[in-house]
Amino acid sequence: MRYNATRWNLVSRSGLLMTYETLAVSLADGVANVALNRPDKSNAMNRQMWDDIRDVFRKLDETPEARVVVLSGAGRNFNAGIDLAMLSQITDTASGRAAHQREELRRVILDLQDVISSLETCRKPVLAAIHGACIGAGVDLTCAADMRYCSADAHFVVKEIELGFVADVGTLQRLPKLIGDAMARELAYTGRPFAGAEAKAIGFANGCYGSRDDMMAGVAAIARSIAAKSPLAIRGTKEMLLYTRDHSVAESLNYMAIWNAALLQSDDLSEAFAAFMAKRNPKFRD
């Protein structure tokens, strides 16, 4: 990995080059680390960061060496939400009453939704490691991760209600399925902050650690455990969990049967059995 003052470059064995102005990216031992990297702005999401997030998750989806992704934030806070200058530009887009201006705003919102959804459409599990502030768009981002872990100093706010508009890029669609409808409504209607311990108690965070260092060490250990599993099985498991979230049990079971009919007989399955019989750790191809 090569680093200078404004850009991080990463080249994988497959020759993939990643260069970003707003993200710090590294890849080692199957674990890709992606850090939001505007610490002087508390990692507020400007237009460049939105574009970089979508690009990095699409590229990591295509990178065999990346088996799991850890998303974190540089500096004092995980994420302060959408950059206010960018928000002002978006609202100016619809300042008139012409239908084409409203239609353009719809396209902007759909594009931002697509950025957040890139964490879900990435076939690799995404673990969010959250410290300090996680506000507005930061909550949208973490809702789209597979799992969330936080430090005790983390605090979350569904901020949009305080700004006079409806959260529109994923929190209202994903949060109720993570913590239940009633609690999601309370947080969305009031905009009250909730800290790391409460995030764990209501099921938003998988774990709450005493410090940021402890959190990063704990998440790294979980990521390594996932990276050691069959990549094909992990990707299939993520696919099934996402499909099941939005479909009936009957539909999901049928899709599961089709999936395993196509992919159950794999080199990974043979390797897992061979390793079990030989009492050794399996070694799966990327």
Q: What is the CATH number of the domain that holds 257?
A: 1.10.12.10
Instruction: Answer left, alpha or beta for residue 140, where phi above 0 means left and psi between -120 and 50 means alpha.
Output: alpha
If asked whether residues 81 and 141 sit together in one domain, one would say: yes
Domain check: are 240 and 126 in the same one?
Answer: no
Structural domains counted in the chain: 2
Of 29-38, 220-229, 241-250, 259-268, the one with minimum mean pLDDT is 259-268
Q: What is the mean pLDDT of residues 122-140?
A: 97
238 and 220 inside one domain:
no
Flag the least confident range among 40-44, 86-90, 140-144. Answer: 86-90
pLDDT digits (tens, 9 = 90+) for 204-254: 999 999 999 999 999 999 999 999 999 999 999 999 999 999 999 999 999
Q: Which residues contact 70 (CB under 8 A, 6 or more apart)?
A: 31, 32, 33, 34, 126, 127, 129, 219, 220, 223
Please identify, among 184, 210, 227, the residue that sits at the C-terminal boundary of a domain: 227
Q: Answer whether 81's CB lies under 8 Å from 160's CB.
A: no
pLDDT value at 11 more than 60: no
Report the pLDDT value the prediction gives residue 17, as an integer from 0 to 100. 52
Q: Same domain, yes or no, for 41 and 166?
A: yes
Residues 223, 250, single domain; the answer is no
Let me know whether 80 and 124 are in one domain: yes
Does pLDDT of 12 surpass 60?
A: no
In a domain, 284, yes or no: no
In a domain? residue 219:
yes
Domain containing 235 equals 231-278
Q: Is the dihedral of CA 175, 179, 180, 185 positive or negative?
A: negative
What confidence tier does 5 reach under pLDDT thresholds 50, 70, 90? very low
Section 122-126 average pLDDT: 97
Question: Is residue 130 located within the same domain as residue 248?
Answer: no
Is residue 152, in this structure, part of any structural domain at all?
yes
**Helix axes 84-93 and 99-121, enclosed angle (nearest 10):** 140
266 and 220, same domain (yes or no): no
Please report whether residue 286 resides in a domain: no
Percent pLDDT > 70 in the chain is 91
Over range 174-187, report the average pLDDT.
Answer: 97
Same domain, 37 and 108: yes
What is the reported pLDDT for 262?
86
Domain with 172 in it: what CATH number?
3.90.226.10
User: Taking a C-beta distance cutoff of 8 angstroms, is the pair 190, 184 a contact?
Assistant: no
Residue 285 located in a structural domain: no
Domain check: are 14 and 104 in the same one?
Answer: yes
**In a domain? residue 283:** no
Is 43 part of a structural domain of the chain? yes
> Is residue 119 exposed (0-12), middle (13-18) or buried (19+ Cβ within 10 Å)?
buried
The answer to whether residue 129 is domain-embedded is yes
Higher per-residue confidence, 89 vs 64: 64
| Chain mean pLDDT for the chain | 89
Confidence of residue 285 (pLDDT cuts 50, 70, 90): confident
Q: Is the pLDDT of residue 117 over 90?
A: yes
Q: What is the mean pLDDT of residues 144-151?
A: 98
138 falls in which pLDDT band (50, 70, 90)? very high
Residue 200 has pLDDT above 60, yes or no: yes
> Are residue 256 and residue 168 in the same domain, yes or no?
no
According to the model, what pLDDT value does residue 13 have?
52
121 and 239 fall within a common domain: no
